[in-house]
Structure 1
Amino acid sequence: MAEEKVKEEKAAKPKPTNKNGLTYAQTLEARAQRGAKTHQKNFAVKKAKKKEMEGK
């Protein structure tokens, strides 16, 4: 009986959504389709530019 409650609770949880009603995975996919850079990519580009400017 306890197992049935656990299964019901897991099935009842909705997937988390953001303000647009998209799941996190859909948000990431949309970002990728637009070609938007992540924070890490922006950081890497800035670091590379800084290193290049120091070399000149």
Structure 2
Amino acid sequence: MKLRTWAAQSVQRWRPSPDGRRGDAEVGELLDRSRHLFSDFVLRRRKWEAGVAG
């Protein structure tokens, strides 16, 4: 159970790096898979920050 908690916290703290590729489809898929960790607002914001359609 600790591993799941640590993984969830890591995903919630993640932010796209400013020098990273914007619009990476894989990032969008990973955010969609972890949508249960975010409110709708935060999920839309993270997708916008990453440059993926939301």
Structure 2-normalised TM-score? Answer: 0.32
Greater share of helix residues, 1 or 2? 1
The higher radius of gyration belongs to 1
Structure 1-normalised TM-score? Answer: 0.31
Q: Which gives a bigger RCO, structure 1 or 2 (Cα 8 Å, sep 6+)?
A: 2
